[in-house]
Structure 1
């Protein structure tokens, strides 16, 4: 996805020009957002088309933003599950049976949400 990178003649180290550095940073950001290699290639192809591909660029980024939002929601649910489980075990450690019963109920509610999300896929 990078064009040929120049090398220093004496050391052989790669020398990145500012445009290449910018491209690497953009691709790294896209990759960390969960975009596939195919999606990144599509982005670069559309970028080469300039303003004529603006609507397709918008759609590509909007779709990736939607996917990332879904991923974040799933991670938030998993985080809630882990915290409720920790609360449940903390109650057990303290010998607080009322809090433990509440913890069991809280975990069950989170599990129900996980099951609902899994069944809508």
Structure 2
């Protein structure tokens, strides 16, 4: 426990920051390079990066946003709006609402894929058991899911072309 407390209060190395955030070391260096993290101070004797409390907070916030699927441009927009303070609250709301909508669409797609996999497992289970009726029902269910997947794919391509 003492190590965890010390790691929380002391400046973190890039390795510690990578473990804590889930970002790779090259990603942390890249984010610093493109200005998402600002300049990370260096240890005077070794020249190694040292992530202080503010940098740790920023990296952790970016890690949460990135894990939600936000793009680097979205991260940059978030930080720009954050710097504007309360005057950018409506824009921040819109940024998060848009990202939540994108994530909801991804979850919906994953649910369809899950139904497909479960249907295929049911089909093969029925075949193992020699239950022709259950196999036919599973094939029908899988066929419906495949239709949903191809329809969603076509809708997505149509939307992409209209942009």
Q: What is the rounded CA distance, in whole Å, between the counterparts of 2:75 and 2:137 in structure 1?
A: 46
Partner Cα distance (2:116, 2:136) in 1: 15
Partner residue in 2 for 1:110: 145
Q: TM-score, normalised by structure 1?
A: 0.94
Partner of 1:63: 98
Note the aligned Cα RMSD (angstroms).
1.1
In the alignment, structure 1 segments of 5+ residues that lack a partner are none
1:34 and 1:24 mapped to 2: Cα distance? 15
Match of 1:37 among 72, 85, 88: 72
- Using the alignment, how far apart are the partners of 1:8 and 1:90 within structure 2? 60
Which one of the candidate residues 60, 67, 70 is aligned to 1:25? 60
In structure 2, the residue matched to 1:75 is: 110
Distance 1:89 1:101 in 2: 11
Compute the displacement of 1:48 (Å): 0.6
Alignment counterpart, residue 50 of structure 1, candidates 85, 94, 110: 85
The DSSP-based 3-state class of the residue aligned with 2:82 is helix
4+ runs of 1 displaced by more than 3 Å?
none
Corresponding residue of 2:120? 85
The equivalent of 2:40 in structure 1 is: 5
Distance in 2 (CA, whole Å) between partners of 1:7 and 1:62 is 37
Q: Match for residue 14 of structure 1?
A: 49
**Structure 2: any 5+ residue segments left out of the alignment?**
1-35, 157-163
